[in-house]
Homo-oligomer: A and B are copies of this chain.
């Protein structure tokens, strides 16, 4: 196969999202060394831009050299020691994954389970914390990519502020598409991916650590199990010492730098409003066509990720394959209990525009007629 001859797709799945020509161009700039002063300047600006997006003044804010799940693992592996208690909200694939990672690290996991497709009641999380006041952390997924649910964060953040328990939030599918508000909400560790609402090819996971989280890490009894993701070592490279740790993914960082310039040019408020408006329009138009919206209640629906059931009991798999092959449009299938029942439609980053909705609906109309 020849990569120059691949058919392009309109990426309207759960990620990766479409990458703008401007970002692809930045990606292809000549590679620099990871200790080159020019590159370090770019990296400093990237970290500044990420602080703005996360809504934080945390010094320790940077892109992990791996995809979103590496960000998740960086959060858990730095904070948890064997025997620690971790309270994890589970209402989809990514909450399940958080719990699984915590268990592998030897933590006692308290799962607060909810129905897939609905947010967790913050009161239940607070109760779980009252039952386990010594828990090391509470972890929640802000935007569940598997179900399209937006999880409210602020009540839990307020509650944990007065405790020694850290608040970990997965913002993989929210960062760059909606407000996260790390400092306002009181989040201690927040991680994301670049291939969703930022429109950067996959391979980086922005993350931020509060000083409370760093204190906790300094007071660990056992070393962090992962050398690659040890935030204390990574901070030595990012900080004034510029101590070599590992070779950063230079060209992906160029792409992230360009994406942050796009964000600045557009303005955060305008960007969030664009995601909200376009996603809302898609959801309305789908309902008009007989699709069902999986996520309940309506105010919990993410605009950037719509989980929809198909009209008239149509089989999702064959239609999704034809959407890809005949129309060049990718949407995602369901995961877990949603498998075989749902389409997951992403309108993220560069893909969150009316022309995406138009192309998708045109194709859907053709597919639905053609039975």
Do A24 and B34 touch (CB < 8 A)? Answer: no
Do B41 and A202 touch (CB < 8 A)? Answer: no
Q: In the complex where A15-B247, A27-B251 touch, is A73 in contact with B6 (Cβ < 8 A)?
A: no
Do B33 and A227 touch (CB < 8 A)? Answer: no
Do B16 and A247 touch (CB < 8 A)? Answer: yes
Most B-side CB within 10 Å, residue of A28, A70, A73, A223:
A28
Prevailing SS type, chain A contact patch: loop
A42 within 8 A of B: yes
Q: Which of B16, B31, B36, B225 contacts A105 (CB 8 A)?
A: B225
**A244-B94 Cα distance, complex, nearest whole Å:** 12
Q: Which of B7, B11, B77, B252 contacts A249 (CB 8 A)?
A: B252
0/1 per residue, A227-250, Cβ < 8 Å to B?
110000000000000001111111
In the complex, what's the smallest C-beta–C-beta distance from A48 to chain B, in angstroms? 11
Q: Can you name the residue of chain B whose Cβ is closest to the Cβ of A33?
A: B330
Which among A60-68, A114-122, A128-136, A149-157 touches the partner chain? A60-68
Q: In the complex where A1-B41, A15-B247, A73-B228 touch, is A67 in contact with B67 (Cβ < 8 A)?
A: no
Q: Which of B16, B245, B251 contacts A250 (CB 8 A)?
A: B16
0/1 per residue, A158-202, Cβ < 8 Å to B?
000000000000000000000000000000000001010000011
Do A203 and B252 touch (CB < 8 A)? Answer: yes
In the complex, what's the smallest C-beta–C-beta distance from A67 to chain B, in angstroms? 5
Interface residues of A in 220-276 (CB under 8 A from B): 223-228, 244-252, 254, 257-258
Do B227 and A97 touch (CB < 8 A)? Answer: yes
CB pairs A–B below 8 angstroms (26 shown): A1-B38, A3-B257, A7-B38, A11-B32, A16-B32, A16-B247, A18-B30, A19-B251, A24-B28, A24-B29, A25-B28, A36-B324, A66-B70, A66-B228, A67-B247, A67-B248, A67-B249, A77-B225, A104-B223, A104-B224, A201-B251, A202-B248, A203-B203, A225-B225, A244-B335, A251-B252
Residues in A lying within 8 Å of B, measured CB to CB: 1, 3-4, 6-9, 11, 13, 15-16, 18-19, 24-34, 36, 38-39, 41-42, 45, 65-70, 72-73, 77, 97, 100-101, 103-105, 193, 195, 201-203, 223-228, 244-252, 254, 257-258, 324, 330, 335
